[in-house]
Amino acid sequence: METLVQHVTQGFKAMPPRGLCMDCSAEDYRAIIQWMSE
C-alpha cells in the first residue's frame, strides 16, 4: 500500500504527481486505492 501511495504522491512514469489533485491527502489516496482493489 505504501508503495502505491508513494507512486501516486510523487508520480510514476507518465502519471503526474498527486494525480493532479493537489487537495488530496495521503489518507484520501489510501482510501481510493483500497476501494479500487475490492
pLDDT tens string 1-38? 999 999 999 999 999 999 899 999 999 999 999 999 99
| pLDDT reported for residue 24 | 94
Per CATH, the homologous superfamily of domain 1-36 is Cytochrome c-like domain (1.10.760.10)
CA distance 12 to 14: 6
Query: What are the CA-CA distances from residue 3 to residues 7, 18, 36 (Å)?
Result: 6, 13, 15
CA distance 10 to 19: 9
Q: Which candidate, 31, 26, 36, 37, places its Cα nearest to that of 8?
A: 26
pTM of this structure? 0.76
| pLDDT reported for residue 34 | 96
Specify whether the CB–CB gap between 4 and 33 falls below 8 A. yes
| pLDDT reported for residue 13 | 94
